[in-house]
Amino acid sequence: METNEHEHVIEVTDLRRVYGGGFEAVRGIDFSVRRGEIFALLGTNGAGKTSTVELLEGLAAPADGRVRVLGHDPYTERALVRPRTGVMLQEGGFPSELTVAETARMWAGCVSGARPPAEVLALVGLESKARVRVKQLSGGQKRRLDLALALLGDPEVLFLDEPSTGLDAEGRRDTWELVSALRDGGTTVLLTTHYLEEAEYLADRLAIMHEGRIAATGTPAEVTAAQPSRISFELPEGYFVGDLPPLDELGVGGHDTDGRIVRLRTRELQRTATGLLTWAAQARVELRRLDVRSASLEEAFLGIAKEVSAERTTGTNAKEYAA
């Protein structure tokens, strides 16, 4: 395996996917993934994540744009790319009468240089289920079997489509640890997920997709830093919002109230917090229920989805969306 960690293992340029009937599910996206990196594609339902991953896996040809996986076109050069990648699909669809071990052996027969099936079953914690029929597995155990099969070829690049859907909290945590360990061993991972905490925990970098486009991309910290922080507190007895220092002078971008609770949004957290606390000290009042927090990935996600929808409604980007 090559070890150049700066090498771009996945490169996507102005990628488009159009389904029969003319629906454009992927509308010109760009991103790249370096060797040994975990990259997460997040998005609302129908954002185009699976449509994108299928293009990376070479299951369909793009309508336009370019995809390279390990330097090759995964569709036209499938024979070069496929043996070096592992794919965990959303629904594996195995014959349900086979046992777990038989399924793994059958799959190993289709993979050149496959690892011993027992080894990958142990990796995902399914060794004790080797003799159980697939139809008797729980939903979470089936997802783990999907993952084991994707690992049979010891892939350089692993595509994981919602790897922990259906897993309980412990199973999810186990999967995260396994995926982290694979990354630490040099595997490049592209995953789609609905769980923001999964992306926060696992992803070195991520992209948030919305309606076929990438609305934000970067490290989890970069994506959340672009969203406003929040400060909330209870107005002291006898005070009104108008008694606070002018909010724009404190760097506040917006505010709302809920009874006596005031919520401020700011991109200058330190300036706003300092101004507010200085005012409280000078007025000799206590700010009860004070809560100061940076945006979470979840807030960033919801904020981006809302912003893009609002732009669309007001027509800011009407032309772009009509394209």
Ligand X SMILES: Nc1ncnc2c1ncn2[C@@H]1O[C@H](COP(=O)(O)OP(=O)(O)OP(=O)(O)O)[C@@H](O)[C@H]1O
Interface residues with ligand X (CB under 6 A) are: 19, 23, 25, 43, 45-51
Residue with smaller CB distance to ligand X, 33 or 47:
47
| Minimum separation from the CB atom of position 235 to ligand X (A) | 41
| Minimum separation from the CB atom of position 288 to ligand X (A) | 41
| Minimum separation from the CB atom of position 277 to ligand X (A) | 42
Residue with smaller CB distance to ligand X, 51 or 175:
51
Residue with smaller CB distance to ligand X, 59 or 181:
59
Residue with smaller CB distance to ligand X, 45 or 112:
45
Residue with smaller CB distance to ligand X, 55 or 108:
55
Per DSSP, 16 falls in state E
| Minimum separation from the CB atom of position 313 to ligand X (A) | 19
| Minimum separation from the CB atom of position 52 to ligand X (A) | 7
